[in-house]
Amino acid sequence: MIALLTRDLRLALRAGGGFGLGLAFFLILAVLVPLGVGPEPATLALIAPGILWVGALLACLLSLDRIFALDFEDGSLDLLATAPVPLEAVVTIKALAHWLTTGLPLVLISPVLGLLLFLPAEAYLWLILSLLLGTPALSVIGTFGAALTVGLKRGGLLMSLLVLPLYIPTLVFGAEVVSRGAQGLAVNTPLALLAGITAGAVALLPFASAHVLRINLR
């Protein structure tokens, strides 16, 4: 399992693996929004939590089809399915690899983008914390979407349609944490709900993903 994780990480980091594309997208979004909305610091500070969360979500979505597509094409997914490791564990490792190469970098770069968007100083801690808590859910839910559409040609657009509605609760609570933090309000409730969604998704969704993957591989 460790070998699978390191293999996935190496593949993602290698040229053409798509590492960094999500990050670049996140950066471009944070540049485009002020250009579209106007340079007014007060306006930008108001919408910064939402923009940063939506940006993180879309950046996550962009890299989802890589989770299974390549392994499906060269047949290594069939090998993994018949390997002694349970498929649920394989799916979890895949989601973890996706989070390490997409979610974690997004968390680390988000303060810089917060600076570009005039995010109030009190909100940085909550931004990092909420993304740290929320992005694992995005990876796990995304893995489920990728497993659903793995055998399909042109599955990418369909996957966005399937995955984005599933992202709604995470987005709502995540952005709520940051905007409440920015206004200096209590953030315990949305933070706990966000953590709850992540815990539930990480615990349960790999079973659904593995089940779906078995259907697609038969």
- Please list every residue from 65 through 104 that binds other proteins, using CB under 8 A: none
Is residue 52 within 8 Å of residue 113, measured between CB atoms?
Answer: yes
* Integer Cα distance of 95 and 138 in angstroms: 9
Nearest to 178 by CA among 115, 110, 125: 125
Does position 125 interact with other proteins (CB under 8 A)? The reply is no
Among the listed ranges 82-90, 91-99, 109-117, 188-196, the one in contact with other proteins (CB under 8 A) is 188-196
From candidates 1, 85, 161, 203, binder to other proteins by CB under 8 A: 161
Is residue 79 within 8 Å of residue 3, measured between CB atoms?
Answer: no
* Integer Cα distance of 21 and 59 in angstroms: 8
- Residue nearer to other proteins on the CB measure, 14 or 214: 214
Does position 169 interact with other proteins (CB under 8 A)? The reply is yes
* Integer Cα distance of 59 and 102 in angstroms: 8
Among the listed ranges 8-16, 42-50, 111-119, 148-156, the one in contact with other proteins (CB under 8 A) is 148-156
Q: Reduced to 3 states, what is the DSSP secondary structure of residue 151?
A: coil
Q: How far is the CB of 7 from other proteins (least distance, A)?
A: 27
Q: How far is the CB of 32 from other proteins (least distance, A)?
A: 23
Q: Please name the residue that has the structure tokens 């299974």.
A: 68
* Integer Cα distance of 136 and 130 in angstroms: 11
**DSSP state, residue 154:** T
Count of residues near other proteins by CB under 8 A: 28
Among the listed ranges 48-56, 70-78, 98-106, 158-166, the one in contact with other proteins (CB under 8 A) is 158-166
Q: Which residues bind other proteins (CB under 8 A)?
A: 144, 148-149, 151-152, 155, 158, 161-162, 164-166, 168-169, 172-173, 176, 189-190, 193, 197, 205, 208, 211-212, 215-216, 218
